[in-house]
Amino acid sequence: MIKIIILIPIFNDWESLKKLLHEINENIKNIKDMSFECLIVNDSSTIAQKKITKPKCLKTIKILNMTKNRGHARCNAYGIRYAIENEIFDYLILMDGDGEDRPEEIRNLINQIILIPEMSVVAKRVKRSEGPFFKFMYFTHKLITRIFTGKKIHFGNYSCLTHKDAKKISNEASLWSSYSGTLKKNIKELKEIDSIRGSRYFGPSKMSLVNLIIHSFSIIAVFKIQVLFRSLIIAAILLVLNEYFEFPFYFFIFTLIIFNILILIVSKRENFNELINSQRNLKDINHISH
């Protein structure tokens, strides 16, 4: 029997979680020879926890209640480490708890691990549900990431990790800051499925413009050495061009310097000691058996 754990970070979205668990149940109920469990990381929610009922097809649900709010990325990091250190599993599925990671795509993830059991799978975003401004910002993020890291990172948290890959990234300091960047840097081969970004079940998005920029820079910061190297090459090219053309190339060089300083600052979010000691933030665990 193949055991799959579904890891979901939550902050106040209890109504969304209840609906998500129901939708997950509907999409896994006819899958044979696999058992499913759920780990929910409660990021010190300020709204009282709603009564959660365990769906039939989820063997267990554990809610890991954190003492301090540390943010989405760090909940994922702790959840991965908790699963590695405390659970027995074959695969770990990461997904958001607000409905934007569509439960119906779980089957697509599972179909890929059936075809190639030893390879992790990520959900490549081919269509988004947000407005034009967010789509433009996301396109800009992907373009900058590609230019300065050489990597095409078009996936978020929604993915299915083999136990081996989950263990490999669980000790990477960058996991404390960026899951997708860490995965792309450390796991050389990843299968992909096409994924449509869903709409939130309830309420508006909690992702502000500032948080979006920090999120983008956190991914890029995982590759800060490559960013510096490519920036130096671009700066050298601009200096050469400056000798032949009357154009303010020094402005772009200055922008490159500022960009690298910001990337260096954001990279300080990566903290190996906080990662390996993240269990200290665990307050208690709720076991939901019915």
Q: What CA–CA distance (Å, rounded) separates 37 from 105?
A: 17
Place of tokens 């900058």: 144
Domain boundaries, the chain: 2-131+154-203+271-288, 224-265
Angular region, 44: left φ>0, alpha ψ -120 to 50, beta rest: left
pLDDT at 48: 87
Question: Which residue's entry shows tokens 């601009």?
Answer: 238
The secondary structure element, H or E, covering residue 283 is: strand 282-288
Strand order in the sheet with 282-288: 191-196, 121-127, 155-162, 91-94, 2-10, 34-42, 58-66, 282-288
- pLDDT of 242: 83
Per-residue pLDDT of the chain (290 residues; tens, 9 = 90+): 999 999 999 999 999 999 999 999 999 998 989 999 999 999 999 998 878 889 999 999 999 999 999 999 999 999 999 999 999 999 999 999 998 999 999 999 999 999 999 999 999 987 666 667 777 877 888 899 999 999 989 899 999 999 999 999 999 999 999 999 999 999 999 999 999 888 888 876 666 667 778 889 999 999 999 999 999 999 999 988 888 887 778 888 999 999 999 999 999 999 999 999 999 999 999 998 77
**Listed residue (128, 93, 110) closest to 200, CA to CA:** 128
Q: How far apart are CA 9 and CA 174, in angstroms?
A: 18
Tell me if the pTM is above 0.85: yes
Closest of 59, 160, 39 to residue 108, by C-alpha: 160
Report pLDDT for 106. Answer: 96
- CATH among 3.90.550.10, 3.60.150.10, 3.30.450.80, 2.60.40.10 for 2-131+154-203+271-288: 3.90.550.10
